[in-house]
Amino acid sequence: MIADSTLWIVIIALGLGSYLLRISFLVFVGGRPMPEWLLRHLRYTAVAILPALIAPLVVYAGEDGGVDPARILAALLTVAVGYFTRNTLLAIVVGAMALFGGIYLFG
């Protein structure tokens, strides 16, 4: 085990480092206009991050880290509804209903 003081020093140091990294963008970029090419790339940040956060929860969600059919079904229906309707709220609602229905059916 790690000593309590060492653990707290590591937690505080990581928190401070994370804060300094994020605040540096505000300090250095601040009120300056960003180049158009950078703004164009920043539009895709959420599109890149959200699947990276959700994919492990869908693929490795079973009790032993295996595939869970309820989550796969919900993910596929959510993507299909979102793709065909272009309605984010509807896709979320259908995905949630599919997940709860799949958990009920598949156990």
At 63, is the pLDDT very low, low, confident or very high (cuts 50, 70, 90)? low
Q: What are phi and psi for residue 3, nearest 5 degrees?
A: -70, 150
Rounded to 10 deg, the angle between the 69-85 and 88-106 helix axes is 160
Say how far apart CA 21 and CA 18 lie, in whole Å: 5
Q: What is the pTM of this model?
A: 0.60
Q: How is the chain split into domains, by residue range? A: 1-32, 33-106
Residues in Cβ contact with 66 at an 8 Å cutoff, skipping those fewer than 6 apart: 60
pLDDT tens-digit series, residues 17-48:
999 998 988 888 777 888 899 889 988 888 88
- If phi > 0 it is left, if psi is from -120 to 50 it is alpha, else beta; for residue 25 that is alpha
Judged on CB neighbours under 10 Å (0-12, 13-18, 19+), 65 is: exposed
